[in-house]
Amino acid sequence: MSDRPYIWIVAPGGYGKTCLLRSYVEVGRRPSIWHNLDSGDSDVVTFFADFSDSLEAAGYAPLPRLTPDVQILSRFSCLYFQQLAEQTDSPTLLILDDYHRVAADSGLHEGIAAAIEHLPASIRLVILSRERPPPGFARAQAHLQLGLIGADKLALTETEALGMARQVMD
């Protein structure tokens, strides 16, 4: 998918970001944790609570809960994702879909950007969004940790489109 450890896929709605990644996961039978974001996830306490609930429903052991009195979000986020990685027995894709729904001023950007710098190799983060990474991710991009795949890479060439059509028609 990319030579970078973490990937941000950006394209307008309808470009097939989610379908592409779902087929990548299914065909390769890759372990994955998929979380669809919504505007409520702009509140970091809500994000970590909902994400933790989803993980527990999928059989993961409980992870620490973010409380409003936590002073250093980046530190909490790093520890949280490291503890999640300890529960994975093989490389796992952590997919955050619809990231564009998170408000521009959300502290979640700080938490996810901090986690990128400290995620163990067993977790590979993929973010799907209609928007480019917010400024909080500039450090990860500058250190070549976060690769960007744009709409131009998702579009099929005429030859690829014809080949797919032939496969469907045969």
Angle at 114 between CA 103 and CA 143, to 5 degrees: 110
**Cα(147)–Cα(4) distance, rounded to whole angstroms?**
5
What domains can you pick out in the chain, each with its CATH number? Answer: 6-169 (3.40.50.300)
Segments of the chain with pLDDT less than 50: none
pLDDT of residue 51: 94
Query: Which residue, 54, 66, 130, 40, is CA-closest to 94?
Result: 54
Give alpha helix (H) positions in the chain.
17-28, 44-57, 73-86, 108-118, 138-142, 151-154, 158-169
The predicted pLDDT at position 112 comes to 93
Other CB atoms within 10 A of residue 55 CB: 17
Structure confidence at residue 169 (pLDDT): 67
